[in-house]
A and B are shown apart, each in its own frame.
Chain A
Amino acid sequence: MNPSVNPLTGYLLVAALLFAIGLAGALTRRNAILVLIGIELMLNAANLNLIAFWRYGPHPEALTGMMFAIFSIAVAAAEAAVGLGLVIQIHRHAKTTDLDAMNRMKG
């Protein structure tokens, strides 16, 4: 188990860090929009991972990684649109975006 420090490792670590930060934000912030921001960060981190692996992995000419990342971006955009639309609708209804206040599903 010899740890190899190479460019890929760096990128992967950065991606992991970004992912963790995004997760932390999604889990701890009160505002629903900030949760969505956190989710966007996570998605971006995953994209970074994909591109890094595409660049340093075998067969970069197959474009698999890049394609995956592009599609991911497209989906993320759609998801952000719908999600924010939902947040706005909730805000109209409950007059707040505080997640702690939204516990009507409480069991």
Chain B
Amino acid sequence: MNTIRAIIVDDEDLARQIVREYLREEEDIEIVAECTNGFDAVKAAATHKPDLLFLDVQMPKLDGFEVLELIDREIAVVFVTAYDQYAMKAFDAAAVDYLLKPFDQERFRTALQRARRRLGEGPRMPSASELRNAAQAPGQHSQRIVIKDGTRVHILPVNQLEYAEAQDDYVALHSGGKTFLKQQTISSLEAALDPSRFVRVHRSFLVSLERVAKIEPYTKDTRIAVLTNGAQIPVSRAGYMRLKELMDKS
């Protein structure tokens, strides 16, 4: 049997301790790292290439869902938390399991069984970012965007995002003269943001409504949105309808 490489992420010593203790009896699982915050977890996932993640939701720096978003590898995730409000969503998105603190060893073994089965199924697991998107509560929108740049992590509050542009598998996020590249589709970014503040004006462009200074005609069917920072964004016909509808509302 292959060894499963696992990382434990929790800011409380005792909470990590109990997972470690339960894992001691599992011969096929090796703990490759323990992390006390979100940043370290993202870093450890990149260097240790784990198969399995025990992940707390509420932690310093980045919460569990933000950590998932920044891990682009396919990893089986078991949430370990005292909060039950994300449980349903995480399950819908096929997180391996959701352990509510405190839990006993039998319950923990069930989670491990599920993880083994999932890992045995091969690579078709929902990616971490898919999990993250599905785990978003309806009507709740991201207040910030996390971006990984090599080993560094940037946190971009959404009110600083001017516009986003699709570039193949990435989105380029523009803010204050800087550009951040993030591996994400523009549609999933759009889905995570507040639709009353961000408009998809074009197949490849998403703009912040409050940054739009004016809209000028371009060709017969298309227009150009000029942002407060001077950037010119193409606006498609459908995009213009959406923009207009939103501006009329506000």
Does B associate with A?
no
A residues engaging B (CB < 8 A)? none
